[in-house]
Structure 1
């Protein structure tokens, strides 16, 4: 019974890590280091007599630092015979590959849903008006994996990317 089930799995899931470029590295780590400095200064201030503890502020600061680490170390995408799965910290989802109508390689989307850590990634247009931005470690391999599942996807390349 297990062997029969394995025959129906089709293509193996292909996993792509998110590429991390210099801009996002500086922004992410600069923010984390600044928050760690503030956290250390606040903890040092608490040790001094007569200073109250701002527990809520420390909890929020710790939560935001943890969230940024989670985003940095857990942003990736995978493609199987039916879906593109994405995860970036607590942001997770899937898109049916047959719903994808177009991908634009080398574009950067600055607003909207963008579980990504780099510029010049891939904008995936699906359904009628929906878009999402990914930054896989290889744009070409990612798009190739999509085309294996759905060869009817239109592929465009931004001129500056070429």
Structure 2
């Protein structure tokens, strides 16, 4: 099974810093205002860290597996029809935390957006498993 790390944009790193700062303020208020306020301030940071560290992709000979916190699933590689490389999907299923990834069209009408660190390696590995996949690159 091959594992692919998710690409993480600079914007995501800035958000992480902001959430950490706000959670620090929440921790301070936990000691001065009460535990409930501090715990509520930590919840967004915990959710964000879960998404940040748990987003990734795996392939075996049959399936592409994706995971991003509470979003996970698998796609049968033989059902992948088309890959749009370098494009960003702004709505729909997006287990990704960066732009400029890959839109995967599979089955008849299904699509998903992922953003591995190395699009080219990911596409080449999928083409090795299913050479019938049509690849479209965005300029």
Fold agreement, TM-score > 0.5 = yes
Does structure 1 residue 92 correspond to structure 2 residue 72?
yes
TM-score, normalised with respect to structure 2: 0.89
SS state of the match for residue 110, structure 1?
Answer: coil
SS state of the match for residue 103, structure 1?
Answer: strand
- Partners of 2:76 and 2:40 in 1: CA distance: 36
Does structure 1 residue 138 correspond to structure 2 residue 118?
yes
Q: Classify 1:130/1:28 alpha carbon distance in 2 versus 1 (closer, same or farther; 3 Å).
A: farther
SS state of the match for residue 111, structure 1?
Answer: coil
Residue 14 of structure 1, CA deviation = 1.1
Higher-Rg structure is 1
Alignment partner, residue 76 of structure 1: 56
Of residues 10, 14, 20, the one that matches 2:2 is: 14
Does structure 1 residue 65 correspond to structure 2 residue 65?
no
CA RMSD, 1 decimal: 1.7
- The count of aligned residue pairs is 139
Alignment partner, residue 32 of structure 2: 45
Contact (CA 8 Å) 2:104, 2:111: kept in 1 or not?
yes
Does structure 1 residue 109 correspond to structure 2 residue 89?
yes
Residue 117 of structure 1, CA deviation = 1.7
What residue ranges of structure 2 are gaps of 5+ in the alignment? none
- Residues 119-148 of structure 1, C-alpha deviation per residue, up to 9 Å, x if partnerless? 101111111221111110100111111111
TM-score, normalised with respect to structure 1: 0.78
SS state of the match for residue 68, structure 1?
Answer: helix
Residue 15 of structure 1, CA deviation = 0.7
Q: Classify 1:40/1:54 alpha carbon distance in 2 versus 1 (closer, same or farther; 3 Å).
A: closer
What residue ranges of structure 1 are gaps of 5+ in the alignment? 1-12, 47-52
Residue 24 of structure 1, CA deviation = 2.1
